[in-house]
Every structure is written in C-alpha cells, then in structure tokens.
Chain A
Amino acid sequence: MAGDAVQVPHTATGLDNRKLGMWAFLGSECLFFGSLIATYLLYRGRSVQGPFPEDVYDIPYTSVSSFVLLMSSLTMVLALNAIQRGDHRRLRAWLLATALLGITFVGGQVFEFTVFVREGLTLSRNLFGSSFFVLTGFHGAHVTVGILMLLTLYGMSLAGRLPSERALRVELVGLYWHFVDIVWIVIFTVVYLIPS
C-alpha cells in the first residue's frame, strides 16, 4: 500500500523506498514479537492451575503445520522467480499455492485452539492460556494479513494489473511472508519444543 516514488526515479541509497520501508517495518515487528515472547517466557511455569503446556501440546501435529508454513516460503520464492522471468501463469499458480499453504496453517491453528479450549485451556484459565493464545494468536493474525495480500496479488495478476515491472510488489509481500515464517520458527522452538 506504500507509495511509488513519482518524482524521484532513483534514491539516495539506491534502495527502493518501499523495500526500505518494509525492512524498517519488519525491524519494528521484531520488537513486537520479542515483547510477546518475553511475556510468554516470563510466565513459563508460573501458572497456578492447569492445564499446563505438557497437558495440551501435540508436538507431531504442530510440527506438521510448521512444515506446511515453511513450505509456503519456498512457493513464495518460486512466485517471485516466476514474475521476474515474466511467467505470469506460474506466478499465479505459486501465489495461490502459497496462500493455500498459509490457509492450511491458520486452519490448523484454529483447530488446535478449539482442541485446547475443549481441554479446558482458555484465555482466562491461567497465565499459560493468556500468554500462549495472545502470542500465537497475533502470529496467526499476521499470517492472515499475509494471505489477504497474496490473494490481492493473485487477483491483480488475473486482472492484468501485475505486470513484470511491478515484480517489486511480489517481492515486498514475500519479505513480509518470510519474516512471518521466521517468527514462527522462533515461536515453535521457544514455545513448543523447549520444555519448561
């Protein structure tokens, strides 16, 4: 949604405005998720009543959905590669694949949340519930925003409004998408894999 530079074709640093802006924004996002993860770590093992993490985590299940999200980074790279080569049919295929993998991940998260709630873990049950749902929920919201952007790109490409000269748009969404993936790797490691 950021602007194309109208009047200055080249910039003082040589980096495109939108790319630099996206990098700055992602730097900010690091502290956003950093603060959430810090809260989760602070409250690890401090809930006064269950269910506790070991009661509800299904590591194999979450590993599979993490793998799905990781694969979506690969399809994202392929989408960017396609538009840079001018192959718009493949671009749309890979964009759609990335979005579908993302939807699968978010769907898996929604399912996981419902299972946890059925097992008695809610936002207001204990500190684990509060910090877990808010951290992973914000991540899921970020993935959802990414899916919306991917589908927008897909729609634009269908309407013929995503020519190769605008490959940067795909690159920007890709930057965001990879960042959200990396954050998930950190969350999966810190939240699910390291025992309390």
Chain B
Amino acid sequence: MASVAVTRPSFFRRPRATTGLAAWLTTVDHKRIGILYGATAFVFFLLGGIEALLLRIQLAQPNGAFLDADTYNQVFTMHGLTMIFLVVMPLSSAFFNYLIPLQIGARDVAFPRLNAFSYWVFLVGGIFLYSSFFLGGAPNGGWFGYAPLSSGEGFLPGTGMTYYSIGLQIVGVASLASAVNFIVTILNERAPGMSLMRMPVFTWMTLVVSFLLLFAMPVIAIALFELGFDRLFGTLFFNPAAGGDALLWQHLFWLFGHPEVYILILPAMGIVSEVLPTFSRKPLFGYAAVVFSGIAIGFMGWGVWAHHMFTTGLGPVANTAFALSTMFIAVPTGVKIFNWLGTMWGGSIRFTSPMLFAIGFVAMFIIGGLSGVTHAIVPSDFQQQDTYYVVAHFHYVLFGGAIFGLFSGAYYWLPKVTGRVLSEGLGKLHFWLMLIGFNLTFAPMHWLGLQGMPRRYYTYPEEAGWGFWNLIETVGSFVIAASILVFMVNLVRSMSRGREAGADPWDARTLEWSIPSPPPHYNFAEIPDVRHRDELWHRKYAEDERGRPVPVVAGAEHHDEADDEEEHPDIHMPDPSYFPLLAALGLPVIGYGLIYFWPVAVVGGLITLAGLFGWSLEPVAEE
C-alpha cells in the first residue's frame, strides 16, 4: 500500500476497542454489521407487527372504534413502510452482510467502512421515520404515498408525508451504498476458482438484487425529491392546477416499485435455493436455469410497472402491453418453482425447521404468484383494484414468500452466527403456528376482496356482512404474534442451552460451513481454493459408480479446529472507524432542519461532510 508515513493528530486516534459499545459503534466487520442489521430489523419487525395487530383489532368488528380514522391511516401507512423498508430489505441485508464474504471465500466486503455507513444510515433513517409519531403525526398516505394526495396543501396537512419523503430518502441512501458495495464484493472479492457459475445461488440473487437497487433507488429518489420540494419549497410537480401531471408520481413510484418487489423476494428465493438442496441431500436441480431465471426476472421487472395503474386510464394499448409483460414475468418465476420441486424430488429429505420454512415459502409463494397473475388480466384487475384481494395477494408474496424464506434462512444460518443450533421442537411449533395463523389471516382477504371490501378504510358497516371473516383474520393475526413469541423464546434459549453447532451442523454444501461457528474475525485462515460448485460438499463426498455420495475419509481436507484458535498476525483486517457513524448522523439532522428550521440543516450537512472528509483522509488500516 502507501509508502508515505502519515502523522495524525491525536484527537483522531483510531478506535481500538474489540468489545463493548465502542467496538460495535465503530465496527467495520461484515459479520458484526450483519448482526446489527438483523437485530435492528427484528426490532422494526416487532413494531410493524404491533401496528398490524392494532389494525386487526380495529377491523375485528363492524363499526370498530378502537382507532380513529386518522390514527388508522398513520398506522397502516407505517405498517407498510416498516415491513418493506425497515424489515424485509434490511433483513435481506443482514443475510447479504453476514454470508456473502463467507460464501465467496473472502475476508470482508470490498468497502468495509461503506458497509458500516449503510447500516448507520438505515438505522438513523428508521428512527427519523418513527420520530414522526411524536412530532405531529406519522405519514398517513399509504406506503406508495400517491401524489397529488400526498403533495397538495389541503389534502394531507401536517408533516407526516414530509417525514415520508425525507425518511425514505435517507433509507434509500443506505440501500444505494450497499448495492454498490455488494456488486463490487461479489464481482471482485471471489476466492480463486470461484467462477460466476460456481457461486452459490444466494450469492447470485444478491448480485441481481444489488443491480436492481442500483437502478431503482435513484428513480424513487427523484420522486421523493419532487414530493418533498412540493411540500417544502412550493414547487408544482404534482399540482394539477398548475398543469402538473396526476400520474407522474405513479409512473416514477412504480418504475421503482415493481423492481422493489423483486428486491424483496429474490433474497428469499436465494435462501430457499440453499436450504432445499442441503436438506434433500441433492444438488440444486437446474442450477443454471435458477440463475438465469433470476437474471431474467431482474431485467423483465423493469417492463411491468404499469400493471399497478390499469385503472388510471392509460388506454387499451398500454394496458394490453403491460398485461402481457406481466404474464410473461410469471414464466421465469415458474421455472424456479419447478426447479425447487425437482430438487426435492427423489431426495432424502430431512424435515428440519429451515426445511419446513422453505417448503412453506414455496407453497405460499405459489398461491401469491397465482393471485398475482389474476391481477395481470386487466378486466379482472378492474374489479380487484383497491380491495382486500390485493392485500391478500401481496401478503402471500411478501409474508408467505419473503418472511417465510427469511425465517428459513434464520434457522439455517443462525447456528453459524451464534455457534448454537436452535431448538427443533420450538422451531416446528413456530412454523406450524405461523403457517396456520398466516392462512387464517390472509386467505379470507381473498373472498372479502372479491365481495368488494375496500382496503385502507378504517371501518365497515355491519350490513356489509364482512364481520365474520374479519374476526377470523384478527384471530389469525394473534396466532402469528404467538408464533413470533415462540421464535424469540427459541432464540434466547438456544444462546445458552442450544446444541453446539460445530462448523457444519447440517452437512451442508457451501463454503461458509467450512469454517468454525461463529467464524473468526478474519473468516478464512487460508483463502480457499475453489474447484467445484458446492465446494464443501465435494470436499466431503465423492460419488460411487451409481452417482450416490460416498464420504471422503476425513484427513487433510478437514480443517483443524486447533489451528483456527491461532491469532494469525499475518492477516491484516481493516481497522474500525468513527467516520461512517458520524457521516450517517448528519443526515437526519438535515431532515429535521428542512422541516423545522433550515440553519439546522446546514449543521447536519457539515456533520456529514466532516464524516466524509475524515473517512477519505484516514487509511483503511493503520500500518
């Protein structure tokens, strides 16, 4: 590296702590950042879940009076924003962070400090959004914040939607930074021999998601800037009286919003593509087809956005074109589903907790996918638009899909993180409670929607006859809550009493299972030399003449636990840094300043600038 000797003023001394609060505040270790992402997103998951319960209590009976209309609007908006931007995206990030370097045989991500910056920006963005509850009211215009409803003077007064425009902008910075980071990490930091087509499918899906984020985040950034400027500085982007277009927001939002759907679901698909082969003791069926269908989804996801806008009067030609493209995009998704079924077919299946959640993912995602195809049919969509049928659809995809997939990943990889396996009994209880609660909650929404029950209304009259199924849904939502409690008990219990995981508790296939659990801070004592897809499996098993796996005699290939205890002074890791945290802290200060008192925004800008300067002037690691 650099040959210049740099003398540094003492007040910029590099943080040195490896334990305690200071260590976590300054960490640049991808594993610690992954844990921070996961823990923070889980807290937001609980908040979003409590919001869901509030909504369900309100809707349990006709003419409910538990929440007033305005509070209801805030709660359903924050529920959606939380689950999408503060739960599923950062939970996926938690898996990216912890696993990608381990799966590709690297010691860290390409830009460790940028990685820390992403996390801190996500955290302060989430806190900024939630602070609106105490500062005059949360966003109340739905997660898609349709302008002019959200931008106009008299429509949604108060600062809620201003918090929306600034808060999502901040969270978006985090996503953009991590997109750049993971693209470079996956392309550049692969171990020798880890060609693209030897990468684990989860790594592949992370790469596709990173590209989707890279190109989708700037589009919503512009939409949010225009919305924020309309609200703060009196621009006219969404003002129909001045000639502003009532559909501009919808086009920009859904041009981001549909790729966003794949940003939410592809990580779960990647997780399932790792879990199913491991517990079927077979390689993934049609690896190349799964990879290429993932890439195809990444491309086609850009050409379907107007299926969210069929009822806005785009005209029959546009509607037909987007209906066709939407049906087409179901094809690569279907390819994946058959590949997963093919993976299980004829395998020796072990029904462990991660496997159950993975199977649950496939089953629930099929239902959500099929109801999605019914939206692609324009006349049918005219009937379903803005009813509970749509709510049912996207919960089957994002809860039945993404959340089940993420829990599958949690049961599968938490032993790698904590060193201890979660209880199988509690895991299965969690799974069955969640599966039953989920279907009780969301299946009836299909028929309520077809009966015409509109979404986003805070109550409904008794004569509508929707009371019975709404009550069932509310019961279901509490069953889901109980299942999450079981998970939390399981997690806490496993930390102290769980079975020791060892390096490879599942007899798995990929590189992360070749190192101890939890991994040492440098991950790999020696950078692996990759010769196969499913590298670890090939180190453990050869094939007999009929293609069945035969264990290789453990010997030189098996790593020596004692060896991993050494300190390895020859391995240089990046040093911790204060600056990512400092740079992130300025952003919400800018936000509050813009809303309340603009000189504060200048202070925020200077804080962020100071962080960035300090960051660019300090070396990655001290000599």
Contacts and interface: CB of A to CB of B under 8 A. Distances in A.
A20 B243 contact: no
B184 A6 contact: no
Contacts of A36: 222
Interface stretch (A23-31, A70-78, A96-104): A23-31
B1 A127 contact: no
Contact of B615 (A1, A29, A48, A126): A1
Interface in A25-47: 25, 27-29, 31-32, 35-36, 39, 42-43, 46-47
Contacts of B619: 4
A126 B242 contact: yes
A137 to B, nearest CB: 10
B612 interface: yes
Contact of A123 (B184, B234, B612): B234
Interface stretch (B69-77, B225-233, B386-394, B591-599): B225-233
Contacts of A152: 613, 616
A134 B180 contact: no
A67 B617 CA distance: 33
Contacts of B218: 28-29, 31-32, 35
Contacts of B574: 3, 6
A131 B615 contact: no
Interface string B184-228: 100111100010000000000000000000110111011101100
Contact of B225 (A48, A123, A127, A134): A134
A27 B215 CA distance: 7
Interface residues of B, number: 58
A121 B252 CA distance: 26
A6 to B, nearest CB: 5
A8 interface: yes
Interface string A86-105: 00000000000000000000
19 contacts: A1-B113, A1-B616, A4-B619, A6-B620, A6-B621, A7-B573, A13-B187, A13-B188, A21-B181, A21-B184, A35-B219, A35-B223, A36-B222, A39-B222, A42-B245, A127-B236, A134-B237, A161-B617, A163-B4
B493 interface: no
> What are the 4 tightest A-B residue pairs by CB atom distance, in nearest-first order?
A124-B234, A32-B218, A35-B222, A11-B188
B394 to A, nearest CB: 25
A130 interface: yes
Interface stretch (B88-96, B104-112, B417-425): B104-112
Contacts of B183: 20-21, 24
Nearest to B233: A123
B508 interface: no
B3 A6 contact: no
A43 B214 CA distance: 26
Contact of B188 (A17, A27, A160): A17
B131 interface: no
Nearest to A12: B190
A3 B235 contact: no
A127 B214 contact: no
A2 interface: yes
Given A39-B248, A127-B243, 17 more contacts: A1-B616, A2-B111, A3-B110, A4-B620, A11-B187, A21-B111, A21-B181, A24-B184, A28-B180, A29-B218, A35-B218, A39-B237, A43-B245, A126-B236, A127-B242, A161-B6, A163-B3
Nearest to B114: A2
Contacts of A20: 183-184, 187-188
B235 A134 contact: yes
A3 B619 CA distance: 8
Contacts of B189: 8, 11-12, 17
Nearest to A148: B609
A12 B176 contact: no
Given A2-B114, A32-B218, A35-B223, A165 B573 contact: no
Nearest to A17: B110
Contacts of A126: 236, 242-243
Contacts of B6: 161
Contacts of A12: 187-190, 194
A130 B235 contact: yes
Nearest to A7: B107
A134 B194 contact: no
B511 interface: no
Contacts of B64: none
B464 interface: no
Interface string A112-146: 00000000000110110111001000100000000
Nearest to B188: A11
